[in-house]
Structure formats: C-alpha cells, structure tokens
Amino acid sequence: MNSTPPAIPFGSALRVWLKIGLISFGGPAGQIALMHRLLVEERQWISETRFLHALNYCMLLPGPEAQQLATYIGWVLHRTLGGLAAGLLFILPGFVLMTAIAAIYVLYGELGWVQGLLFGMQAATLAIVVEAVIRVGRKALKHPALWGLAGLAFIAIFAFKLPFPLIILGAAICGWLGARWRLIPHSAPSALTPGETPRPEITAATPEHWTLKVLLCGAALWGLPLLLLLLCLGAAHVYTQQALFFSKMAVVTFGGAYAVLAYMTQQAVERYGWLSPPEMVQGLALAETTPGPLILVLTYVGFLGAHRAAGALDPMVSGLWGATLSTWVTFVPCFLWIFLGAPHIERLRGHAGLSAALTGITAAVVGVILNLSIWFALHVLFRDVGQWRGYGLALPLPQWESLNLAALLLGSSAMLAMLRFKVGLITTLLACASMGLLLQRYA
C-alpha cells in the first residue's frame, strides 16, 4: 500500500501562503511559529523533522530566515513555482505597507500627531529588542562556553567595531572546533523518526543543468540591474549606492533580522547618511507593526535615501524607485540561495560539523543583538550621543543632560508590559503610540 500522502493542490497552498503573508507579525520567531502551526500541526503538509531541518539550513544563510524557510517549504510542496509563490507572498504585503508608511512619513512627518505616534513607537522598540536578546539568549546559550562566545562577539562589534562577517566566521570556526574538542555541546539535525513519512516525499532529483539555469537566472535578475546602474548612472548615484549596498548586505549578513539590522544601521546612518538615528529607530518600530520580514525596514531606508537625493526626479517617484530597488536586490539572492541549495540539502542531514558551526554562529548572534539593543537604547533615551575613541576602542558617549524622561518612562513601561505581564507585541506598540500622541498633544 502506498503511504505517501496525496499531492497538495497548488491553489490551497497559495491561499495559505497569502494568509501567512498577511498575518506574519512578531518578527522571525513569531513567523516561524506561525508557519509551524499552519503547515506542520494543522495541515500536516510537511513533517516536523523536515521543517526543523529546513530551518537549520535557512539559519545558516544570509538574509531573513523566516522568508527563506517559506521559500524552501514552498519549493518542497510545488518546486520552483511553489517556492516563488511562498517567498513573494511572504514579502509583498509588508513591502506595500512599508512603502506607504515611508511616503506618509515624508509628507506628514513634521505634523505633531505623526511625531507623537512615532515617538511612542520608537520608545516601545526598546522593549522589543530587549525581549529579542532574552528570547534568543535562552535558546542559544545553554553552556558556559557559549556565553563566553556571545560575550566576545558583543565586545568585538560594540567596542572594536569589527566587521560582522568576520565575527560570524570566527564564531563558526569556534563552534566547529569546540564541538570537535568536546568543549561545546551541539545537536545535529535529526533524521526521520521510525515510522515517520515525509510530507511530501522529497528527493534530490532536479531538472537537467538545474544549477546552471538558476545561476543564469540569478545573474540576469540580480547582477544585470547592478551593471546597468553602474554604466548608466555611475557609482556615486544614490540608486547605484543603494543597489550595491543592499546587494552586499544580502551576501554577508548572517544571523537573522536583528543581526542584519546592526550592520544596516551602521552603514545607512553613519556612512551614507540616508537617514538619521531617530528615523532609523522609528523605521524599526514601524516595521514591527507590519507583516513580513523585519528586515523590510530597508524599504523605508531605501525610500528616504532616494527621496532626499531625487535630483531632477519627482521626490516621491524617486523614493518609490529607491524602495523597490533596495527590496529587489535584497530578496532576489534569498530565492537564489534556496533554489541552489534545496536540491542538495538532504545530503547534509545529520552533518555534525555543520550543526556545530551553527551552534557557534547562534551564540555570536546573541552578542550582536545585545549590541543593537544598546545602540537603540542610547538613541531612544538620549537626544545627543557622541563617541569616545582611544586605545583602539570606539565607545558611544551619551550626553546625560539630554536624557529624555518621557522616552525613559514609555520604554520602561513597554518592557514591564512585555517581559513581566506578557502583553502582546501589537498591543504594546499601539499603547505606546497612543501615549506618545497624548504626550505630544498635552506636554
């Protein structure tokens, strides 16, 4: 008797992917939990072990792991068309909303009520990021050596400003060596349990010359726009800068959304000057209120950067092009990694060395997220933040007389609500936004 479940209709899968795209709030943890509930528990379209194995692979890739997990599972269910549908529907609702928010911000951002809402939301962001540190830390740091690795990663990026890819490489090597010398525990990706049937059955079989075809498509969709921008507009144009920067980010940023934000914030604010630190904080708060990957804050960054360097173009049109271009070059590689790796990932099942490297990377990411939370705290709570340099260090130096007591009160209240009373993310953001509006109106 054939025990393989019947094929899943593509129309049914499409409706589920659209539903996930519309309600995937709460960052990567909430999005992964949502997909697990809908796809593994309720519909049983994919097995538990298959889901976890795919998640481990996606966590090793640069870019947002939740979006890549959706693309991977879509490929599992319906191959290329399924992967494209799942990945695109995961992004599209959030992209539309973030573009609209950016447009509203540049049109009405100076109005009092908009500033009040944004002020409240940026204060709540502090609680969101602190919660992320605690959540990831509890899951990742289960051994003293991993605590030490997280601490070293934090010092490297916070005090010495070492490049994130270098930190990740070092963490992967430490994880691999630590497991090899039995200094750091790790668990390899599990195989199917006895009697478990994959849903659906997956093999490594692919069309002829599959890898070459994927690489050619990737070159056309990702590399060709970059080349045209360089040739037609030059390296100094804002579109070219954004395309090159976000393409680089798509390649070198490992460790999930919060880790990516640390790198993007440093470059977009300090190097390119596309937006100010408070605007970056506000962008993150706004991204938390929309579905889809948290990294879609780059849509907001791309819009503001291009809007302010519009030149002869209409600023709103320029902003729209910047938002679209930034999002395109960031997410095309996400599909590329999945379509290249998915046919071969089954051969990596149970690979101990890969799992050990992942353990080290995950520990380092905790330190990077802690750095992000401190950066946000300083720019939320203080109006002026300088920098102290010496002995090879570069440390932030807040001006204590610029402490914002209202931000301190709202941020503390948000942390108390989320960490102590387990109030939901959206509820906390809405409450802080309302308080910010009241403070703006009556202060």
Residue 1: its pLDDT value, please? Answer: 37
Residue 325: its pLDDT value, please? Answer: 97
**pLDDT band at 205; cut points 50, 70, 90:** low
Q: What is the 3-state secondary structure (H, E, C) of 109-139?
A: CCCHHHHHHHHHHHHHHHHHHHHHHHHHHHH
pLDDT in tens, 136-173: 777 678 889 999 999 999 999 899 888 777 887 898 89
Distance CA 182, CA 232 (A): 55
53 phi and psi, to 5 degrees? Answer: -65, -40
Residue 320: its pLDDT value, please? Answer: 97
pLDDT in tens, 215-236: 999 999 999 999 999 999 999 9
Residue 186: its pLDDT value, please? Answer: 60
pLDDT in tens, 335-392: 999 999 988 876 666 677 777 887 887 788 788 778 877 877 888 899 888 889 888 8
Is residue 359 a contact partner of residue 184, using CB atoms and an 8 Å limit? yes
Q: What number of other Cβ atoms are within 10 A of residue 217's Cβ?
A: 15
Across 314-323, 378-387, 423-432, the highest mean pLDDT is recorded for: 314-323
Supply the mean pLDDT for the chain. 84
